Amino acid sequence: MASITKLENRKAKPWQVRIRRKNQTFVEYFRTKREAADFAAKVEADFDRWAKLLGGELRRHTLAELIDRFMERYRGKDVSVTARAGWWRDEYGNRPLSEFTGDTVREGLSRLAGMTARQGGHLVTATDRTLSPATLNRYRTAISTIYKAAMDAGWFGIRENPAAGIRQRRENNNRFGRCLEDGERARLLEACDRANWTGLGVFVRLALATGARRGELMKLTWADVDLKAGSILLRETKNGEDRRVPLIGEARARLAEWAKVRRLDDPRLFPGVTSDKNPPLDWAWNQAKAAAGVENLRIHDLRHSCGSYLARAGASAFQIAAILGHRSGPGLTARYVHLVAEDSRALLEGALSGVLDGKRK
């Protein structure tokens, strides 16, 4: 039942509504008695709203149910969201939503901060490094995104985001890896050309010339390559959009040679590199690095190297974002991004001419 009381010691909102139901109490304040009465009548008449206000649904449903509902509807391409949401589900899935609070999120992030990172593509190995501030921020973002979706859709009566009041950790400036230096590049490309997997030299040059991610290159098919026009089409990229990137001199020439020995039973540019019958990409890459004397360089750093070369050549942030496929900023559309990427052919030629043949130093 609801009771309405005027409190003499409150001036701004003196009218108090106190609602009791099932041993729980909800209190709200209003400026006028009419506002208080209307609110009390509405809550009493709407049991579903009442249940949400008192957290009835939050007590009946668990975090696992919330995450499962979110993942059923998730259409993003970022697989890391699935992994990070899965961690929250594994660790706190049995918690009722009413007990998953900001303190719980802080506890989870604290536990993550003490965990060690893993690395590798085909072969994932443990390291002795703790998770970086950037990675912890992504775990926080994952649970925050789930709660934002729940609030927008009205799931389980959720009205607050427990991660909203938790500040982002300061990220390290070097979290994006490193750039392949000029003195290393010629040695590495030469070693890649001598690798047991003959496609490594083509793969590395494409990564340097286009800034494409490892997974984007591994999914490339010959139908996505236009050697005549000089471009490749990267499909279903991390941000969910297709991206066409110009092919420049040496990378284009190497790809044309690679096309002459392509397999006819597989449409991919790089088939079978992770099978038992052929050297895995990671194995060939590590062998080439060792032969070239290049240390602490990941395949993903080839993408960073491309961006660095473009920046050195005077490319704008907008041009680099278009080529690398970063999400466009406010007011920009995918149409303009694709146009700028194609218009950047001359920029790519100037920035990377001589880089991919190992002659430029």
Contact criterion met (CB below 8 Å) for 115 and 131: yes
Residue 45 has pLDDT above 80, yes or no: no
pLDDT (0 to 100) of residue 64: 95
Q: Is 296 exposed, middle or buried (0-12, 13-18, 19+ CB in 10 A)?
A: exposed
Confidence of residue 48 (pLDDT cuts 50, 70, 90): low
Question: What is the three-class DSSP state of 331?
Answer: coil
Contact criterion met (CB below 8 Å) for 47 and 34: no
pLDDT (0 to 100) of residue 127: 56
Angle between helices 182-193 and 200-210 (to 10 degrees): 150
Give CA separation, 316 vs 4, 5, 98, 309, in Å.
63, 64, 48, 12
Question: What is the three-class DSSP state of 97?
Answer: helix
Helix residue ranges, H only, the chain? 33-45, 47-53, 56-60, 63-73, 79-92, 102-113, 133-153, 182-193, 200-210, 214-218, 249-260, 281-292, 300-312, 317-324, 334-343, 345-352
Task: Kindly report the pTM of this predicted structure.
Answer: 0.53
Residue 217 has pLDDT above 50, yes or no: yes
pLDDT (tens digit, 9 = 90+) per residue, 56-82? 678 889 999 999 999 999 887 677 788
Q: In the predicted model, what is the mean pLDDT of residues 42-57?
A: 62
